[in-house]
Amino acid sequence: MRTKCSFLLFFIFILPLALAKLTPNFYSSSCPEAESIIFNVVQRRFNTDRSITGALLRMHFHDCFSGNVCDASILIDSTIRSQPEKDSGSNLTVRGYEIIDEIKNAVEQKCPSTVSCADIIALATRDAVALAGGLNYSLPTGRLDGLRSNADEVNLPGTSLSVPNVLQMFAEKGFNTTETVVILGAHTVGVVHCSFFQDRLADSDMDPAFAQELSKACEASSGSDDPMTNLDRGTPTSLDSQYYNQTLFKRGVLQIDQALALDASTHDIVAHFANDEDDFQLSFANVMVKLGSLQVLTDGQGEIRQNCRAFNRDNNANKPNRGRGLKRA
């Protein structure tokens, strides 16, 4: 089993190859208040809605995993000419767009056309993780926003896939088995619609008492045809390793969550993180940095949107973005 040291070595010697075009504190001269503005907005929202951590983690993952590019393409709204990633079936339940809008508006007032929406998603997610009890990891920035978004190009792992299929999908993106188990640990702060698991409440791999608890939770919810419940039933607003603990006792809500604890290729990894909170925290931070660096756009490959929901050309604001990362006059 990997140790904290081995994960740290992986982070130091392997990840810099992927991060060559990103830089820590990228906006220290061009917009020195950017990261504090982002944190303050996320903190205000977290104080009233702690489920925002799970929402931002999901948005960040869906943005980066689709098309293998972290370019804020998930934020683009529909037009009469196109159906963007946001319109795909896999993304219809993604939420948190309004907090990105709030952050973008605040940053634009301070530093116009300087901070990308892609960096805002990554930094806001980092801050939400820290507020929920995770590590406040250093995050290289300098991403540009993408120039395309297509619902037909979205290909995300489903909750009912087998472990081998999920591992294969993540391997194609450059993640090994341990890293895949770590990323799915984000479910410790997630919520899910009841329709995603109601068909497995009678499964033999779910604890009967837990199945009854979930059934009652769904029945008790009102005001929705498809109510939601927490994936982590013990500490749903804390980013911790309890997600792994509950799957060891057949209390995994989603099929893929429970399957990780039962499959021979992942069981020992799940058991390790269930018993080593510190290693999970370090591993999660490293994987989030890696996720946020998948084929990022830099060096004129994209733009800095004035409105995160629309390409600059659609805003009639297709102005050159000069001076990013440079000291403002």
> What are the b/e assignments for 32-67, b being 16+ CB within 10 Å?
eebbebbbebbeebbeeebbbbbbbbbbbbbbbbbb
> Does 27 map to a domain?
no
Q: Are 150 and 234 in the same domain?
A: no
Cα 279–Cα 276–Cα 190 angle in degrees, nearest 5: 80
Q: Are 112 and 81 in the same domain?
A: yes
Structure tokens at 119: 């960096």
Q: What's the domain range around 50?
A: 33-156
What pLDDT shows up at residue 324? 52
SS3 assignment, position 141: strand
Arithmetic mean of pLDDT, 54-80: 92
> Does 24 map to a domain?
no
pTM: 0.89
CB 119 within 8 A of CB 22: no
Mark the binding-site residues for substrate, compressed into ranges: 157
Q: pLDDT digit string (tens) for 164-194?
A: 999 999 999 999 999 999 999 999 998 999 9
Q: Are 146 and 173 in the same domain?
A: no
- Among 236, 249, 172, smallest CA distance to 208 is for 249
Give the separation between CA 292 and CA 295, rounded to whole angstroms: 9
Output the CA–CA distances (angstroms, integers) from residue 180 to 108, 172, 283, 291, in the order listed.
Answer: 35, 11, 11, 11
Q: pLDDT digit string (tens) for 120-142?
A: 999 999 999 999 999 999 999 99
> Does 309 map to a domain?
no
pLDDT grade, residue 46 (50/70/90)? very high
Arithmetic mean of pLDDT, 206-220: 92
CB 306 within 8 A of CB 315: yes
For residue 225, what is the domain's CATH number?
1.10.420.10
> Does 18 map to a domain?
no
Q: Which residues are catalytic?
A: 62
> Does 43 map to a domain?
yes
Q: Are 134 and 167 in the same domain?
A: no
Give the end of a domain, one of 108, 137, 156: 156
> Does 233 map to a domain?
yes
Q: Are 203 and 281 in the same domain?
A: yes
What pLDDT shows up at residue 222? 60
Give the end of a domain, one of 156, 184, 207: 156
Q: Are 208 and 120 in the same domain?
A: no
Please give the tally of structural domains in the chain: 2
Give the end of a domain, one of 127, 156, 185: 156
Name which of 7-11, 55-59, 291-295, 296-300 the model is least confident about.
7-11
Structure tokens at 106: 């605040």
Mean of the per-residue pLDDT values of the chain = 89
Q: Are 93 and 196 in the same domain?
A: no
Q: Are 232 and 149 in the same domain?
A: no
Give the separation between CA 328 and CA 322, rounded to whole angstroms: 10
Name which of 3-7, 104-108, 146-150 the model is least confident about.
3-7
> Does 298 map to a domain?
no
Q: Are 145 and 254 in the same domain?
A: no
CB 128 within 8 A of CB 43: no
Q: Is the pLDDT of residue 315 over 80?
A: no
Q: Are 168 and 58 in the same domain?
A: no
pLDDT grade, residue 51 (50/70/90)? very high
Q: Is the pLDDT of residue 75 over 50?
A: yes
Q: Is the pLDDT of residue 328 over 60?
A: no
What pLDDT shows up at residue 220? 76
For residue 63, what is the domain's CATH number?
1.10.520.10
Mark the binding-site residues for Ca(2+), compressed into ranges: 63, 71, 73, 85, 188, 232, 235, 240
Q: Are 230 and 178 in the same domain?
A: yes
Q: Are 172 and 149 in the same domain?
A: no
What pLDDT shows up at residue 223? 63
Q: Is the pLDDT of residue 225 over 90?
A: no
What pLDDT shows up at residue 66? 79
pLDDT grade, residue 12 (50/70/90)? very low
> What are the b/e assignments for 167-195, b being 16+ CB within 10 Å?
bebbeebebeebbbbbbbbbbbbbbbebe
